[in-house]
């Protein structure tokens, strides 16, 4: 296959989308967007700054204060969201092609992400119609009920891994609940985000409800977080960036939802189905090029099966097909950007001093340019090693043995992160006790990362703040107002100052 298949009709330039129109930056500034297979510039994007964010927020605030969207019945908003889902589904091949080209994601995996994006909108379109809120009665005396209201302008800051799907994850509930939005997509991958405007227009979303500003995090993202008319920030990205956002949002007492980094353990006990566990843990770290927050990048294996596991895992990792993103046979494509490639490769070199290299460890053969990393496996990794403790966000995994349930739990909890955990055992009591003791926001038992959109998504410790998914998303994007009504014939007010 050729090194890079260029999709038809690529834009010469990617603009912002503000108040229903595509516009350049106020100062005319742009940045280059690279094809990760060649690291050559294939287009430019408008580089948003504070002035562009101010225009976008003003448009979103006008649409919230004066426009029809927050005042529509849930059923009316639901129809628009279903039309959005229909359009996304009908264009899944084109979306996948652009996402794969822009991010380096294998085309088959990009296609799955496009379909998940449609499902995110469909899920929240149904949820807002079916949603019920609490009501409490004190018979003959009082009635109390909860009234949900959209909050205002939601600032959505999204990452470069599976960007279109993760944008939908925030856009769906934010719009469903009647808010207006300003989206700041990751600067490495602005291509698929630029499609939202046309999709929303075609679906009938009113002008000003959706606004998009491209740009660097320190410019556009920072201005969005600090804008006084943006009461909500939903962010997915690195923990260090989350700390900055937390500090910058504090003076404004903004609502924050932050899904941050992870160094998730996969714990394999001796009684597990070994073949299934190997398959699942291979997929869990090498799918999406290893650029996934929930990757099971630390595999903890019981000592009695450790050597067999390592041998089988290393052999299978060497068979994982690295290839060009547009090739349907590719299982690991190109990392998103040369900066990220350099970071991942630096961890590969660190790993060679911290563990036993049993697979990969450099560029795959035949890929002399672009951001390709061979699936890399280190065994015998100590718990104080950097490759055990730090998020690499690439196709690199550390395997460590354990001798007891207590040691396995201590190792699993021995990082600052706590996003996900994967437990492989056929002992039912152990499975439940271990899952309840592990420090992770989400646990999968004898399963890979299969999401049910009704469940909370989020982490503990350095992996996040708050949860989204299902009603947790509705909670985040709405104010819950308590309304109290007296039903008694005579009031029970205390009387001050009457005599």
Q: Where in the sequence numbering do the catalytic residues fall?
A: 259, 293
DSSP reduced 3-state for 380: coil
Phi-psi region of 23 (alpha: psi -120 to 50; beta: other; left: phi over 0): beta
Tokens representing 458 are: 């989020």
Contact status, residue 273 vs residue 88, Cβ threshold 8 Å: no
Q: What is the rounded CA–CA span in Å between residue 103 and residue 370?
A: 12
**Torsional sign, CA 166, 224, 335, 13:** positive
Q: What is the rounded CA–CA span in Å between residue 87 and residue 199?
A: 7
Backbone angles phi, psi at 14, to 5 degrees: -105, 125
CA distances from 474 to 128, 151, 180, 471 (A): 8, 11, 14, 5
Residue of 162, 341, 334, 150 lying closest to 236 (CA atoms): 162
DSSP reduced 3-state for 19: coil
CA distances from 336 to 96, 176, 333, 370, 444 (A): 15, 31, 9, 9, 28
DSSP reduced 3-state for 432: helix
Residue of 311, 334, 315, 384 lying closest to 354 (CA atoms): 384
Residue of 104, 77, 112, 44 lying closest to 341 (CA atoms): 104
H helices of 35-132, where?
50-66, 74-90, 92-103, 107-130
Contact status, residue 163 vs residue 151, Cβ threshold 8 Å: no
Tokens representing 269 are: 């006990």
């Amino acid at each position: 296959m050729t090194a890079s298949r260029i999709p038809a009709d690529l834009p010469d330039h990617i603009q912002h989308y503000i108040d229903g129109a595509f516009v350049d930056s106020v100062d005319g500034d742009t940045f280059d967007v690279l094809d990760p297979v060649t690291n050559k510039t294939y287009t430019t994007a408008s580089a948003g700054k504070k002035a562009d964010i101010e225009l976008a927020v003003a448009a979103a605030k006008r649409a919230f204060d004066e426009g029809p969207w927050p005042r529509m019945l849930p059923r009316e908003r639901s129809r628009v969201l279903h039309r959005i889902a229909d359009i996304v589904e009908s264009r899944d091949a084109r979306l996948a092609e652009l996402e794969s080209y822009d991010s380096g994601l294998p085309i088959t995996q990009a296609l799955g992400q496009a379909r998940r994006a449609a499902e995110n909108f469909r899920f929240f379109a149904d949820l807002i119609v079916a949603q019920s809120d609490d009501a409490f009665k004190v018979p003959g005396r009082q009635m109390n009920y909860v009234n949900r209201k959209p909050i205002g302008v939601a600032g959505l800051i999204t990452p470069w891994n599976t960007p279109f799907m993760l944008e939908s994850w925030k856009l769906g509930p934010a719009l469903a609940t009647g808010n207006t939005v300003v989206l700041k997509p990751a600067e490495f991958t602005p291509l698929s985000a630029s499609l939202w405007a046309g999709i929303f227009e075609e679906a009938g979303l009113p002008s000003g409800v959706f606004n998009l500003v491209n740009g660097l995090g320190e410019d556009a993202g920072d201005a969005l977080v600090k804008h006084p008319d943006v009461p909500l920030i939903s962010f997915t990205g690195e923990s260090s960036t989350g700390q900055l956002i937390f500090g910058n949002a504090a003076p404004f007492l903004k609502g924050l939802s932050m899904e941050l980094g992870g160094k998730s353990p996969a714990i394999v006990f001796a009684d597990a189905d070994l073949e299934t566990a190997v398959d699942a843990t291979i997929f869990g770290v090498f799918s999406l090029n290893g650029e996934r927050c929930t990757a099971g990048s630390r595999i903890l294996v019981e000592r009695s099966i450790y050597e067999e596991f390592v041998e089988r895992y290393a052999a299978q990792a060497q068979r994982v097909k690295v290839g060009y993103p547009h090739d349907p046979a590719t299982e690991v494509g190109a990392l998103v950007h040369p900066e990220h490639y350099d970071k991942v490769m630096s961890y590969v070199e660190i790993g060679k001093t911290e563990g036993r290299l049993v697979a990969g460890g450099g560029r795959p053969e035949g890929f002399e340019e672009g951001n390709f990393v061979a699936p890399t496996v280190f065994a015998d990794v100590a718990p104080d090693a950097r490759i055990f403790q730090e998020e690499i966000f690439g196709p690199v995994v550390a395997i460590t043995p354990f001798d007891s349930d207590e040691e396995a739990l201590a190792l699993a909890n021995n990082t600052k992160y706590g996003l996900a955990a994967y437990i492989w055992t056929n002992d039912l009591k152990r499975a439940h006790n271990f899952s309840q003791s592990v420090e992770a926001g989400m646990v999968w038992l004898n399963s890979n990362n299969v999401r049910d959109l009704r469940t909370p998504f989020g982490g503990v410790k350095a992996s996040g703040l708050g949860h989204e998914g299902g009603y947790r998303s509705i909670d985040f994007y709405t104010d819950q107002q308590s309304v109290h009504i007296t039903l008694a014939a005579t009031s029970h007010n205390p009387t001050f100052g009457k005599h």
